[in-house]
A and B are shown apart, each in its own frame.
Chain A
Amino acid sequence: MATAHKAPDAAKDRAAPGPAAADVGPDTTELESLFDAAVAADERIEPRDWMPDAYRATLVRQIAQHAHSEIIGMQPEANWITRAPSLRRKAILMAKVQDEAGHGLYLYSAAETLGVSRDELLDKLHSGRQKYSSIFNYPTLTWADVGAIGWLVDGAAITNQVPLCRCSYGPYARAMVRVCKEESFHQRQGYELLLALSRGTPEQHAMAQDAVDRWWWPSLMMFGPPDAESSHSEQSMTWKIKRHSNDELRQRFVDICVPQAESLGLTLPDPDLRWDEERGHHTFGPIDWSEFWSVLKGNGPCNEERITQRRRAHEEGAWVREAAAAYAAKHSDHDKDRRPAALGTPAEATA
């Protein structure tokens, strides 16, 4: 918990979120330098601490986008729950999709500590004013895609997210610790799924190779545009929201994946991929950034379907949420005592 940058009592009102906080008071400069010093000293910024408006806005945008990605990311995988080829795989996949909903919940809670509401953020997702990771606009065409998503997409996500466990904003960093634990489990399961296919029948092997061929480049794009074109990078690094550049993380990911692909007995679809002795890294071929920007602008294979399904689930569920609110309003007093026990105890038994 940081102490050096605590807002003095007089400044508390201005520390509230929202446009009003843009107000320039006489001591903003002092608060700003305390904040900068705290960040420089690797102290954690907490919800009640003063923070620059732009820092708050950047975090809201990033955490919301992260939460939205978890929620939209349920769709490509849920697409295979009803077709999973064994009961063991079906259980693993259901548990994974459930975890993703849980990650969405952690992340919306982290975003809410910055003064926004989950409903407000969901509205922005549904109306296209906030984005989610463009990787989820690719379709899952075969069962092997479930494995490729686990290995490559979750692998890329972990490479991105592990440094976020040291992010300067405390609630986000703590959410990432929990998320990363579960994600790395999913990633190993995805790898193991692909391994079973790769060592299976020729048809299964071909299915695995095809999935890796389709997911490899989109996974590399998950690290974002090249450093030279990344608009938010520099400021985020100064604020210690981000710890490494896009290109650094992408390189790290490639270096991790190459030997894993070899152990899997699968190839990566890049003729330029080779070990560079001098750099001590793998060199890889050029990324098709026109595809990346096109997907990001909404022209990917599934952009329309993903957002339509999300909106529909929300709209069709409106009457359920209204019912829950109406019931809670009617019974807020006399049910208060029994509800926690009734919901708490049996849930623990199934945990």
Chain B
Amino acid sequence: MTTTPRTAGIAALALGDDALVLSHRLGEWAGHAPVLEEEVALANIALDLLGQARILLSLAGDEDELAFLREERAFRNAQLVEQPNGDFAHTIARQLYFSVYQNLLYTQLATTDSELAPLAAKAAKEVAYHQDHAEQWTLRLGDGTAESHQRMQRGLDALWRFTGELFQPVPGLDIAWQTLREQWTATVTGVIEKATLTVPEGPQSGAWTAGAGREGLHTEPFGRMLAEMQHLHRSHPGASW
């Protein structure tokens, strides 16, 4: 299949925004991680994601203009990745849901003739590491102490309603979305159960179904995140850094 530049641009923007926004959230952990090894690991994952974002956004336009000069309503990331860090378990739940998704998505995308296929093939290797990191921590926290078990369950429950959006088709991506959803559910269920935790039962999307990040409709914390991220760049119009 051939993708028109326009739809490829939309797809690059959606995936690029996912990576950019999650990278930013992980960057907020710097200096706050529970153990030094996690300072290294979280920064490492944030850097991988930022690298992906830079390539993807560059396919859609100028990376800095897109990152720093778009308003909230023009961002195409899924709402899951913009969710605040919360405690370490909350961050790990977000990492688990998202890295499993991203791994499956990139692995499929790498086999298509999309112009994003080469990026997907490279990024899938990084994302496999992110997924392993999230899985290992889900197991440790779920099957650790009573407190960590409770916190991990709380993180999984709180973010569950943002997972349905991940399987909404993105224009320009030739992906078997239903298969992706089934694989994601099987993988995530396997990890959660192995971690002695319970797969959340609630709906996977909010009542306001139009409120999808892919449509530029975001949650309230996202605006504040952008205000911080964009402030300096916007304060010096036209400057280069």
Contact = CB atoms under 8 A, between A and B. Distances in A.
B139 interface: yes
Given A196-B240, A200-B240, A320 B228 contact: no
Contact of A87 (B36, B43, B50, B228): B50
Contacts of A84: 232
B236 A320 contact: no
A98 B34 contact: no
Interface in B109-154: 125-126, 128-129, 132, 136, 139-141, 143-145, 147-148, 151
A75 interface: yes
Contacts of B136: 342-343
B50 A90 contact: yes
B155 interface: no
B37 A105 contact: yes
Given A343-B132, A350-B126, A94 B64 contact: no
Interface stretch (B25-33, B75-83, B169-177, B208-216): B25-33
A323 interface: yes
A104 B236 contact: no
B34 A82 contact: no
B167 to A, nearest CB: 24
Contacts of B232: 83-85, 143
Interface residues of chain B: helix, strand, loop or mixed (majority): helix
The DSSP consensus for interface residues of chain A is: helix
A317 B33 contact: yes
Contact of A349 (B28, B35, B126, B233): B126
B68 A85 contact: yes
B24 interface: yes
A334 interface: no
A42 to B, nearest CB: 33
A101 interface: yes
Interface string A141-180: 0010000000000000000000000000000000000000
A320 B34 contact: yes
B96 interface: no
A325 to B, nearest CB: 8
- Residue from A313, A321, A350 having most chain B Cβ neighbours under 10 A: A350
B88 interface: yes
Interface string A306-329: 000100111011111111111110
A320 B88 contact: yes
Contact of B44 (A83, A98, A317, A325): A98
B157 interface: no
A293 to B, nearest CB: 27
B228 A82 contact: yes
B225 to A, nearest CB: 8
Contacts of A346: 125, 128-129, 132
A317 B137 CA distance: 13
A129 B82 CA distance: 40
Given A85-B236, A319-B147, A309 B36 contact: no
B239 A201 contact: yes
A38 interface: no
Interface in B36-63: 36-40, 43-44, 46-48, 50-51, 53-54, 57, 63
Contacts, number: 164
Contacts of B87: 316
Given A86-B241, A350-B44, A313 B32 contact: yes
A177 B165 CA distance: 48
A94 B129 contact: no
A331 to B, nearest CB: 8
B50 A85 contact: no
A313 B31 contact: yes
A204 interface: yes
Interface in B147-194: 147-148, 151
A61 B176 CA distance: 59
A326 B145 contact: yes
Most buried by B among A86, A325, A330: A86
A316 B35 CA distance: 10
A201 B236 contact: yes
B146 to A, nearest CB: 9
Contacts of A83: 228-229, 231-232
Contacts of B100: none
Interface of B: 20, 24, 27-28, 30-40, 43-44, 46-48, 50-51, 53-54, 57, 63-64, 67-68, 87-88, 125-126, 128-129, 132, 136, 139-141, 143-145, 147-148, 151, 228-229, 231-233, 236, 238-241
Given A82-B229, A320-B38, 13 more contacts: A75-B31, A81-B27, A81-B28, A81-B30, A82-B28, A82-B228, A200-B241, A313-B33, A320-B34, A322-B145, A322-B148, A346-B128, A349-B128
19 contacts: A78-B31, A83-B228, A87-B67, A90-B50, A94-B47, A98-B43, A196-B241, A203-B239, A313-B32, A314-B34, A317-B38, A320-B148, A324-B35, A324-B140, A326-B148, A331-B143, A346-B125, A349-B125, A350-B129
Counting from the closest, the 10 A-B pairs by CB-CB distance are A317-B34, A323-B144, A323-B148, A346-B129, A98-B43, A101-B39, A78-B30, A320-B34, A349-B125, A327-B140
